[in-house]
Structures are given as structure tokens and as C-alpha cells.
Structure 1
């Protein structure tokens, strides 16, 4: 229960905020928190079960201590580590005024502290959020994203990432990824320490556990990741004010991520769940082991959220490159006339 607590302790606050916005949203939020808590409980039980099968009661206690220590380390350091790994550079209102302004306005709409804003020099269009919580969160977008989407679609993507921050998903996914990784590590140790005659599993059972335990842990982790993506899509559409902006962006990001490599993500697949679309090519069409729901289902849900009379194209034509892009040769031109975005006052 110690490992589940971080995902549950914010439930009353989130529940109270959403309750004022309608029973349907309230029920959806509660359902997602309960489902996530159950899945994390299953993951924790699986890890402790592996420890028990290898070392009895002491093994189970050791497994719990290891999981707690790894969770604490990952929770405290994951944000800075992933930003360093992807060589993200922080931007300011002076260096990237348009992009920063979009994030600032959306954070205000979401009633969140202003996160740190980063850009990653990577041609694959993608984005992620990280950090221990709303007070020290960071959002990052690749140069490929900023050059591929117009301002409204960028707003939809950043709203999705801020929804992750508001829902504390960065903490939840750090916990699940850490426990899943620990299960795989302990299962590998089983070959060396689990083959004694006193082990009730026997050598065949140990080998089976080495194969099945990490697989089961991965499936639970992926189920949690997919459920949080759906909730962030819903929250992102609410924050930016138009579900079509995020839906349009997802279609473009999906197309781009399938055709442009992300070597950094391929080198560390454990970070794939952080991105708004799957950055990996290995499981691009493997729905069972995908860290994200299918693009078709995500887009369909977003389209259903929009009122039928809502203007899907409440924006001008897409810019070939965003006006905030440092490599945009037309960045000094006059911006086209358009309807005000929801982040503008």
C-alpha cells in the first residue's frame, strides 16, 4: 500500500475539482484512479510474490525494500535525468517567445504553476512532460514537432502534457516503470539464486517465472500507461478548449513518428511511455505491447468530445514551420490573421 499511496493521495483534491464540472467527468476520473490503483497493486503484489517464491518471507520483505528504494530514487531524479539524456535545452520568453507564451497561457487555464519549458533537437515530432509534481514540472517538445504543427495544434499537444502534470501521471508512471523493471531484474537473479532444492518452484518453475513474471509486469505497466494517455487526452482537450486541435496534432504526430527515427528513444525504450506518441518503431503496429492506445481510438474519442457545430478549423492554414522555430527562414514575417487562441487574453 505504501507504493500505491502516491497515486491515491491526490484523489480527493482531483475529485473535488472535477465534481463541480459534472457527474460524467467525476465518474470518469474516479474510475481511472481506481483502475490505476488496482493495476499498481497488482504490480506490487507480483513483485512481492516473486520475492516470496525466491526467498520466502525474507525474500518478500527484501523485494518490498528494493522497490521502495528504487521508487524513491526514480521519483527524486527521473525528471532531471531524462532531460539530460535527451539533451533538452531550457527556453525562456526571450529566446522562444511564441512557444513559451502558448505554454504559459495553457498553464494559467489549467490553474497550474508555470512549468519549465524545454526544446529537444530531434526531427521526430513528439513531446513529453516530466517532474515530481506540478510545482517542479517540465514540458519538452522536439524541434520536429514545432516545425510540423501550427500554433493551435501545438497548443493541443502542450495541453495534453499539462494534463499529465495535473493528474500526477509522471509520478504514477515512474512508480510503475520502476516496479516493472525491478521485477525483470529479480527474475533474472532467479536463475542464480532460485535453483536450490529447497525452492518450491524447482528449476522448471524458476525458468517459467523468469519468462512469465517480466511479461506480466510489462502488460500491467502498459495497461496503466494507456489508461493515463486517454485521461490526458480528455484533460488536454478541456484545457486548450478545442478537442479538434489535439486530434489534428495526434494524426500528424503519428504520421511523422512512424517515418522519422528517434535514436535516443530507441536506445532507452524505458522512456517511450513518456511521449505523447510512441517514439519506437519496433512496436509501432504491435497493439499488445504498445505503450500508447491506438491512434484511431484516441482521435475518435477526441472527435466525439467536440460539439457537432464546433468549427474544427478555427485557425488559418498550417504554417510549414512554426513562428517560434529558430530554423524557420520566415520567422520574421507578419503572422497570418487568425482567431484568438484560448491562451490569449
Structure 2
């Protein structure tokens, strides 16, 4: 089965070739040059700007120095245990919801984000489970696939918003047209099996399936009661669906149901 990172490379290669072909068909040699520059710009944006843009839109701030929750120590310890070449950077999101996310366009280093609500509500053991879960996404290169797909999808949605800004009376024509394409990119890369496999890998790292399962179950409930508003095409970056009951459209749901995740992980769903 094709893994997530392979899907991303295939998609990037296909989109770059498509830009070259369209450029040549429209303007022959000059169009080919324009298509090449467009493909180069797209790849530069994806690999060197997408991660920082996602962190900025979530208002994430790098955690340095004083760390009363011991997050940095947990990240460094588990990174060594997983064999990561470098510990990811740690960020805090100033929001009362309880959630965590990871981004990373590099195989060697990523970034972990934790909401203030999460570090305040979870105990030491629960925080360790969340850190382990997110680090496994980086180890499996899920963070690379998720971040690239999110950046590409956001570019499509942003193009729709930009084009709609020129329409009179605040009409929306391009946004409804391009938004499904953005989410289709997410769907092509992010499969439910990647969540199941990462849950299992994190439980092996923790050597305790029940510990991780209970944390996922609790976080899902907290996300429902205190949802987090996130930029378009970024909800799949989080450990559980950050939008909770606010997300009505089934097509936009990037996470498998929590019941399915816990049954795959523990063999039962807690009642």
C-alpha cells in the first residue's frame, strides 16, 4: 500500500508536470518557462513557508526557557527513544480548548503545538501520551504528508478567496468552487488507516494501550465542549477533531470516529 509521503511526492510531481504542460499548451516556450517558474514557486511555498504560516495562523508561540509542565523534557526524552535525529520545537496556542497538533515539512525536524487548555487540564501521564502520539506522526512522516497537503489545499482555498475579493457585492463564486478541490487534496493524502496505525505505534512507545486510549477519549470529549476554530484544511493536523460538533459536513471530517479509533486500539469502546 502506498504510504502518505509517497502519495505526497506523486501529487507534487503530478502538479508540477501539469503546470509545465498547461504552460506549454498556452504559450509554448514562453508558457513552458512560466509554468516552470510557477511550479518552482509552488514547491518553495510548500516546503519553506507552509509550516511557519500554519503556526502563525494558529497564533502559536515557541516555548523556551521556563516550562512548568515539563513539555520540552518529555519531547526530548521520547524523541531519543524513537530515534529521531532532533527533538521537535514546542509551541503553545493561547486557547482554552484541549488539543495538540504537529507540523513538519522536513524529515529531520518538526514542530509540536499544544493548547494552553490541554497543558492545564492533563496530568503528567496524560501529557506524555499526547507527546508520544504526536512524535510518532513525525517518525512515520505523517507530519510531512499532512503539512504539505494542508499547504497545497490552503493555497487552493486562498486562491478562491483572492478571486472572490474582486467580485462586487461580496459575492462568492470561486470559493465554493475551489474549496472542494482543497479538501479533495486532503482526502487523497490523509486516510483513516494512518490514524489507526499511529495510535498503535504510540501505544507501543508508551507500552500501554489503555493509557493512550483513555487520553484520546477524554480529548475528544473536551474538543466537543470547547471547540477550537482552525484555518481551513488544517483540522487533520490535530490529535482529535478540533472543531467538535461545529463541523457538520461529513466530507470535511478528517478524523475517523473516536469509537472506531478506540476499538482498533483497545478492542473496545469505554462507556
Q: TM-score, normalised by structure 1?
A: 0.60
What does 1:1-345 align with in structure 2 at a 5 Å threshold? 31-33=1-3, 37-38=6-7, 41=10, 45=14, 56=25, 65-85=37-57, 86-92=59-65, 94-96=66-68, 98-112=70-84, 113-183=86-156, 214-227=179-192, 228-263=194-229, 265=230, 268-281=231-244, 284-304=247-267
For each residue in 1:201-238, what CA deviation from the matched residue of structure 2 results, as whole angstroms up to 9, or x when unmatched? Answer: xxxxxx9x997765255234124223443332232222
Contact map agreement 2:8 2:145 (CA 8 A) in 1: no
Q: Are 1:243 and 1:303, in contact at CA under 8 Å, matched by a contact in 2?
A: yes
Partner of 1:17: none
What stretches of structure 2 of length at least 5 have no aligned partner?
165-172
TM-fit CA distance, 1:176:
1.9
Deviation at 1:90, TM superposition (A): 0.9
Return the index of the structure with the highest Cα Rg.
1
2:169 is matched with: none
Partner of 1:9: none
Distance in 2, Cα, partners of 1:52 & 1:219 = 22
Q: Distance in 2 between matches of 1:133 and 1:43?
A: 15
- Kept after mapping to 2: 8 A contact 1:78/1:174: yes
Paired with 1:281 and 1:99, the residues of 2 have a C-alpha distance of 25
The CA deviation string for residues 235-286 of structure 1, in whole angstroms up to 9 with x for no partner, is 22222222222211111111111111324x2xx2233222111222576354
C-alpha deviations, 1:103-159, integer Å up to 9, x for none? 222112111222222222211100112233354322121121122223222222111
CA contact (8 A) 1:159 1:236 kept: yes
Query: CA offset at residue 44 of structure 1?
Result: 6.2
Contact 1:283–1:289 at 8 Å: present in 2 too?
A: no
Q: Secondary structure at the match of 2:114?
A: strand
Cα root mean square deviation, aligned: 3.7
Unpaired stretches in structure 1, ≥5 consecutive residues: 1-30, 192-206, 306-311, 313-345
- Distance, in Å, in 1 between the alignment partners of 2:20 and 2:160 is 9
In 2: Cα distance, 1:173 partner to 1:105 partner: 24
Report if the CA contact (8 A) 1:284-1:290 is conserved: yes
> SS state of the match for residue 233, structure 2?
helix
Query: What TM-score, normalized by structure 2, do the two folds share?
Result: 0.74
Q: CA distance change for structure 1 residues 277 and 97 in 2, over 3 Å: closer, same or farther?
A: closer
Residues in 2 aligned to 1:166 and 1:180: alpha-carbon distance in whole angstroms: 23
2:102–2:113 Cα contact (<8 Å) kept: yes
CA distance in 2, matches of 1:239, 1:131: 20
Q: Distance in 2 between matches of 1:186 and 1:84?
A: 19
> Is the Cα contact below 8 Å between 1:50 and 1:183 reproduced in 2?
no
